Amino acid sequence: MNVETIGTWAGLVWNALNETEVLGNKEIKKITKLKDKELYAAIGWLAREGKLNIAESEDGKELVLSLVK
């Protein structure tokens, strides 16, 4: 795993979120086919760049993500 790879994963997540308003991490995994560690690395990348809104689902079992507008 290297920075370029994580950037590619971040692009997959960004594209998935750009198509919809809000997605849960399970939905993003299904769309992007990323594994857990890949998804969380991508989320970290996008969060560090200030591109994500991150919240927990009502039951606290899932992250709910959307792009900063």
Question: pLDDT truncated to tens, each residue of the chain (69 aa)?
Answer: 799 999 999 999 999 999 998 999 999 999 999 999 999 999 999 999 999 999 999 999 999 999 998
Matching CATH number, 3-67, of 1.10.10.10, 1.10.3720.10, 1.10.645.10, 2.102.10.10: 1.10.10.10
Position 28, amino acid: I
Exposed/middle/buried for residue 42 (C-beta within 10 Å: 0-12, 13-18, 19+)? buried
- pLDDT at residue 21 in the model: 87
- pLDDT at residue 4 in the model: 95
Position 2, amino acid: N
Exposed/middle/buried for residue 52 (C-beta within 10 Å: 0-12, 13-18, 19+)? buried
